[in-house]
Homo-oligomer: A and B are copies of this chain.
Amino acid sequence: MSRLGIGIIGGGYMGKAHAAAYGSVGTLFETTLRPELEMVCATSISSAEKYQKNYGFKSATTDWKEVVNNPNIDAVVIASPQSTHCEIALAAFKNRKHVFCEKPLGASVEESRTMLTAAEASGMVHMTGFNYIRTPASQYARQLIVEGRIGDITWFRGEHTEDFLADPSIPTNWRTTGKSNGTMGDLAPHMINAARALVGPISSLTACVETVHANRPGGKVTNDDQAQMMCKFENGAQGHLFFSRVATGRKMGYAYEIHGTKGSIKFDQEDQNALHLYTIDSVEKERGFKKILTGPAHPDYKAFCQGPGHGTGYQDQIIIEANDFLRAIHEGRNIWPTFSEGMEVNRVVSAALDSSEKNIWVKIADY
């Protein structure tokens, strides 16, 4: 068993989630590599020191370069704003650090491509932070599809809907400006990743991106609130994706429904410990959607509990990511989703924004 020094850049919401995950992942998954929280980087020294103390890091800094230069650090978690991802990642690879980067990967397809190229050239491990596809239920959904339990997929409907900006009287804030903070930048990547993971690559789409509440107390909203796209997958399936931060009543509406020739799957992250499966292999009068509660029979569940139905939560997804990151490093090979997936998701986002502007169908291959 050997130690692995971890540096985290960005100490806010996601930085804390990762720090906490590294505190228990070793115990829960009984990992060979034991992570140690070396250094945290934040924008102000007071924040950085607070994070150091509260999250249990050995040191703190306001300069991310100190993290990527720290010889005790083997792996860097990038949880800072998207605009900084590319530069930090390139520097980290140069210094022979493994890199876990939050989604959306780069600020553009080009940036993501650059990051992927650097990652591959370095030979270091790279991973993108699509945490929602990591639940035991969604991993199990992927398994079922691979095993052919629902036959050929004919339809995929996915959405990522929340309501944190549904009230038009909420003033402008950091979320209402900047492309990467809009619905397409913030929410869409998760569900595009899910669509790709469950069905396969998207070949073409036509999208409609809009700002429902363009004016708020404080001024103009400069990014998108709500977006949808019709799409076609390379395997011939048709689909629809919807993203909204003004979906009144929806709190964590990462949800999908998949129709196949032999069965169907339904999932809603708001009840993340259940997968609904319909198959045609029973007599007609006994057909129905089965509500399968996740348990030790499903991927990554038993690290958290030996009993089925006891449930995992949001923080456990981050722990699952951490375990896979440690495993990848230990085994010296990349584990999905890598920077490649991050870049592919970027391409779909770019295609959708372009399609919406031009009101036409576009091919992903062109982005």
* Partner-B contacts on A (CB < 8 A): 1, 13, 16-17, 19-21, 23-24, 26-28, 30, 34, 53-56, 140, 150, 154-155, 157, 162, 164, 166-168, 206, 208, 210, 212, 226, 228, 230, 238, 240, 242, 244, 246-253, 259-264, 269-274, 277-278, 280, 283-293, 295, 297-298, 304-316, 359-361
Contact = CB atoms under 8 A, between A and B. Distances in A.
B150 A252 contact: no
Given A238-B208, A242-B157, A286-B277, A23 B19 contact: no
A27 to B, nearest CB: 4
A163 B252 CA distance: 29
Contacts of A26: 23, 54-56
Contact of A311 (B154, B272, B360, B361): B272
A292 B285 contact: yes
Contacts of A305: 17, 313-315
A297 B251 CA distance: 13
B53 A1 contact: yes
Contacts of A166: 259, 261, 280
Number of copies: 4
A358 to B, nearest CB: 11
Given A287-B292, A308-B251, A208 B226 contact: no
Nearest to A208: B230
A277 B285 CA distance: 11
A250 B310 CA distance: 11
A312 B310 contact: no
B20 A28 contact: yes
A275 to B, nearest CB: 8
Given A277-B286, A292-B285, A309 B251 contact: yes
B270 A246 contact: no
B312 A247 contact: no
Among A1, A27, A54, A283, the most chain B Cβ lie within 10 Å of the Cβ of A27
Contacts of A280: 166-167, 248
A20 B27 contact: yes
Counting chain B CB atoms within 10 Å of each CB, the highest count among A19, A155, A278, A284 belongs to A155
Given A16-B27, A311-B311, A313-B313, 6 more contacts: A23-B23, A162-B307, A228-B238, A244-B259, A305-B314, A305-B315
29 contacts: A19-B27, A20-B28, A23-B24, A26-B54, A27-B55, A150-B248, A155-B226, A155-B246, A162-B307, A162-B309, A228-B230, A240-B240, A248-B259, A248-B262, A248-B278, A249-B287, A249-B289, A251-B293, A251-B308, A252-B307, A285-B292, A287-B292, A288-B290, A289-B290, A305-B314, A313-B313, A316-B316, A359-B361, A360-B360
Contact of A289 (B28, B162, B291, B298): B291
